[in-house]
């Protein structure tokens, strides 16, 4: 069985397990603290730190894995992104004190920069011709400027609220990140292993496509069908099915969740009835 490395804790773990479950790959472990579990009938799951997953894959201990692209970039290992899973979105940014006039452009030589991503921080400033002293930290980098440990930080943000609470502002973005299905370069994998990971990517992509979408069905007057088509474009236009009696037709379509309220309101105004909206677990165009 192929080994898939998964985060062992946090929101990334929860989202990864949810996506795999929706794809039909249930995680079955002996207990909450188990480090190994079955993943469907074709894979074995290994639970490790998100930051260690690139190393596990690059060294051959795992065939693929799910982790943030920031972890992959920081590792420096040559790996491929088989699929952007869409969750865990964040940014690695340069941040300075709100009351400071410091910018990346005017950064003084020798400025101390605290970061849990020392490789990416060093590469970022070197590419801009800035000689800085990177101070590696394991977490809570936002407190470094207040303790005199560093003048600038490079840290992950999503909403930016933690920076604001600690009197910091973003100066520049280093990297955009999200959870990815990653693997070794295809040339380093056997044909069977590469095909299995491709199939896993397709299954997970169908889950990603389905999220934020709803399946809508309604009976609408045949005479209003053209107007209904404008309301329900669907993926390739709505599916239309004749209903016994002739005056109505049944229409089926995929609708973005955020538009369901508007669509239902417009369908009712056109004489639609028997409207049903349901969730979609997987969607392959």
**Residue 135: inside a domain, yes or no?**
yes
Rounded to an integer, what distance in angstroms lies between the CA atom of residue 247 and that of residue 225?
11
Say yes or no: 19 and 149 in one domain.
no
Taking residues 96-121, what's their average pLDDT?
A: 93
* β-sheet bridge partners, residue 48: 7
Say yes or no: 77 and 197 in one domain.
yes
Say yes or no: 243 and 265 in one domain.
yes
**Cβ pair 97, 186 in contact under 8 A:** no
pLDDT tens, position by position, 124-151: 999 999 999 999 998 789 999 888 889 9
Taking residues 260-272, what's their average pLDDT?
A: 95
**pLDDT at residue 242 in the model:** 85
**pLDDT at residue 100 in the model:** 86
Say yes or no: 242 and 270 in one domain.
yes
pLDDT tens, position by position, 18-62: 999 999 999 998 777 789 999 988 899 999 999 999 999 999 999
Taking residues 78-106, what's their average pLDDT?
A: 94
pTM of this prediction?
0.87
Say yes or no: 79 and 115 in one domain.
no
Taking residues 269-277, what's their average pLDDT?
A: 95
Say yes or no: 195 and 183 in one domain.
yes
Instruction: Report percent pLDDT > 90 for the chain.
Output: 79
**pLDDT at residue 159 in the model:** 87
Taking residues 184-193, what's their average pLDDT?
A: 93
Domain that holds residue 196: 2-88+178-210
pLDDT tens, position by position, 204-259: 999 999 999 999 999 999 999 989 988 987 656 788 888 767 789 999 999 999 99
Say yes or no: 60 and 107 in one domain.
no
Number of folded domains that form the chain = 3
Specify the 3-state DSSP secondary structure of 168: strand
**Cβ pair 138, 116 in contact under 8 A:** yes
Say yes or no: 110 and 82 in one domain.
no
Rounded to an integer, what distance in angstroms lies between the CA atom of residue 142 and that of residue 2?
39
Say yes or no: 152 and 14 in one domain.
no
**Cβ pair 127, 81 in contact under 8 A:** no
**pLDDT at residue 217 in the model:** 94
**pLDDT at residue 235 in the model:** 58
């Amino acid at each position: 069985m192929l080994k898939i490395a998964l985060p062992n804790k946090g929101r990334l773990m929860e989202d990864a397990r949810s996506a795999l479950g929706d794809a039909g790959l249930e995680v079955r472990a002996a207990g909450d603290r188990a480090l190994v579990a079955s993943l469907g009938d074709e894979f074995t799951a290994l639970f490790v730190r998100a930051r260690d997953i690139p190393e596990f894959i690059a060294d051959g201990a795992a065939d693929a894995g799910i982790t943030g692209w920031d972890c992959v970039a920081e590792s420096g290992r040559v790996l491929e992104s088989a699929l952007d899973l869409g969750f865990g979105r964040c940014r690695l940014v340069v941040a300075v004190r709100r009351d400071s006039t410091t910018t990346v452009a005017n950064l003084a030589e020798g400025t101390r920069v605290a970061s849990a991503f020392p490789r990416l921080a060093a590469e970022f400033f070197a590419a801009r011709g800035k000689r800085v002293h990177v101070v590696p930290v394991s977490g809570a980098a936002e407190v470094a400027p207040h303790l005199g440990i560093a003048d600038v930080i490079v840290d992950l943000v999503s909403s930016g609220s933690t920076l604001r609470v600690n009197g910091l502002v973003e100066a520049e973005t280093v990297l955009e990140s999200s959870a990815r299905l990653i693997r070794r370069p295809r040339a380093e994998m056997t044909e069977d292993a590469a095909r299995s990971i491709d199939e896993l990517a397709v299954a997970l992509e169908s889950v990603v496509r389905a999220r934020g979408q709803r399946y809508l069905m309604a009976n609408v007057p045949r005479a209003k069908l053209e107007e209904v088509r404008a309301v329900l474009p669907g993926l390739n236009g709505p599916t239309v099915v004749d209903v016994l009696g002739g005056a109505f037709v049944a229409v089926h379509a995929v609708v973005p969740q955020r538009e369901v309220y508007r669509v239902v309101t417009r369908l009712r105004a056109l004489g639609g009835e028997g409207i049903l909206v349901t969730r979609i677990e997987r969607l392959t165009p």
